[in-house]
Amino acid sequence: MNGLSPTQELQAAASRCVKCGLCLPHCPSWSYSQRESDSPRGRIELAAAMASGELIPDAVGQARLNACVLCRACETVCPARVPFARLMDQTRARWPMRRLWFGALFLHKFGKALARGSAWLGVVSGMVRWLRLRIRHPLLEMLPSKLVLHRRALAQQDAGDDVGLFVGCVTDAIDRATLNDAAVLLECSGARVRWVEGGGCCGALPRHQGDAEGAATRLRQNTACTEACSCNVLISVATGCAAEFMEYPRYSEDPQAQSWAVRHREVMNYLQTVQGRLKFRSCSRKVWLHQPCSAQHTLKESDAARALLASIPQLRLKEANGQFCCGAGGVSMFHSLQQAQELGERVVGEFLESGSDILLTSNIGCALHLRRILRADGHAHAVRHPVNLLREQLQEQPTDA
């Protein structure tokens, strides 16, 4: 886009680093291993040396790059404004990661058909319950206790913002409860809601693994589906998807991609703007709010969830210190297992210490990872999206359309 070759672009980004080291204490992978090659500064040098041919890309170097959780905390604090995410995208596109088989499942037609067919979901839901009673597998431990089979029939309102609710891939397959709760809150705020489906993954899953072509295909399909839905605002319930939409202009010059990036909102952020139209019943539960890295460092919108939850009378709200990623970032919970486990345990430890009943997080990846760690340690606490609680506490419960 700027006339530079990918290698030149990568080197230009790397050359901005003045090696001050200010980013190191903010980097979760450095805090885990204390190795320079696991720090932002170390990764920048490694990526630049691999791009210039000074260093042969081998499995060891690639493992150091792959252990990056893509939290972007380093970008937030970097005084030299090193575009670290862009640099990592280019690096992974050149030296892709080993693909996740279940990631491919969600990205291909079979996965989409599975996610869309409620009959299939019914079978899968039954199988999951059966398997969880017999097998303790980390992938099964991630899933919610109950899979909701149907997406809500949307109300046919004649006025209000035309809102398209992006169903995504993983969320649509295993967290339809959150999609339904978001739809109810949006309708109660006066919006006309439509489901935006057909595009599947927002593109983050292939991009994090270095599949730039796969991510570009998702981007094209999502912008076409959103355009076809004739909405004015596009909303996603996962902060990870919202962050990917926000970055579409970085990946594509297509005017539609540019336009939807501007008209896209993360659900909590949108609901905050219409907060006055939503009234909540009091609730004396103690909840703990985890702020995903995508909300803190890409969207830079961690206030919305806090403000909305604070409008539930008597709710006892505590917030995570948010210093480090929970370990789920990017796809590292599947690639850097020990690091993901330790980072996740730190977050779970802080949650348990708070004495709260529910862990709330607005990103599906964080929810899956933290739920698995809690269950593996024998804790039965609920891990939920903030919209689940907001929907439960609505003063006027809508009748189903």
Which amino acid type is present at position 315?
L
Q: Are 283 and 317 in contact (CB under 8 A)?
A: no
Burial class (CB in 10 A: 0-12, 13-18, 19+), 94: middle
In the complex, what is the shortest distance from the CB of residue 197 to ligand SF4, in angstroms, rounded to a whole number?
31
Residue 200 has which token pair?
């599947």
Q: Does 302 bind ligand SF4 (CB under 6 A)?
A: no
Q: Does 123 bind ligand SF4 (CB under 6 A)?
A: no
Q: Does 72 bind ligand SF4 (CB under 6 A)?
A: yes
Closer CB to ligand SF4, 7 or 76, in the complex: 76
Phi, psi at 189, each rounded to 5° = -85, 0
- Give the position of tokens 């885990």: 32
Q: Does 300 bind ligand SF4 (CB under 6 A)?
A: no
In the complex, what is the shortest distance from the CB of residue 183 to ligand SF4, in angstroms, rounded to a whole number?
33
Write the DSSP string, 25-37: GG-HHHHHH--GG
3-class SS at 41?
Answer: helix
Q: Does 29 bind ligand SF4 (CB under 6 A)?
A: yes
Question: Which of the ranges 25-33, 199-207, 307-315, 382-390 carries the binding residues for ligand SF4, by CB under 6 A?
Answer: 25-33
Neighbours of 79 (CB within 10 A): 9
Q: Does 322 bind ligand SF4 (CB under 6 A)?
A: no
Closer CB to ligand SF4, 35 or 146, in the complex: 35
Q: Does 17 bind ligand SF4 (CB under 6 A)?
A: yes
Which amino acid type is present at position 11?
Q
Q: What mask of x and - would describe binding to ligand SF4 in positions 37 to 56, judged by CB under 6 A? A: ---xx-x-------------
Task: Write out the binding residues for ligand SF4, residues 75-114 only, by CB under 6 A.
Answer: 78, 80, 82, 84
Count of residues of this chain found to bind ligand SF4 when the rule CB under 6 A is applied: 25
Q: What is the CA radius of gyration of the chain?
A: 21
CA distances from residue 246 to 13, 31, 230, 326 in whole angstroms, order as listed? 20, 28, 19, 22
Q: Does 68 bind ligand SF4 (CB under 6 A)?
A: yes
In the complex, what is the shortest distance from the CB of residue 369 to ligand SF4, in angstroms, rounded to a whole number?
15
Q: Which of 4, 6, 8, 20 binds ligand SF4 (CB under 6 A)?
A: 20
- Give the position of tokens 């791009």: 51
Q: Which of 10, 23, 174, 191 binds ligand SF4 (CB under 6 A)?
A: 23
Q: Which of 14, 70, 177, 309 binds ligand SF4 (CB under 6 A)?
A: 70
Spatial distance between the Cα atoms of 32 and 346, rounded to a whole number of angstroms: 11
Evaluate the CA torsion angle 203, 274, 277, 361 in order and state its sign.
positive
By CB under 6 A, name the binding residues for ligand SF4.
17-23, 26-29, 40-41, 43, 68-74, 78, 80, 82, 84
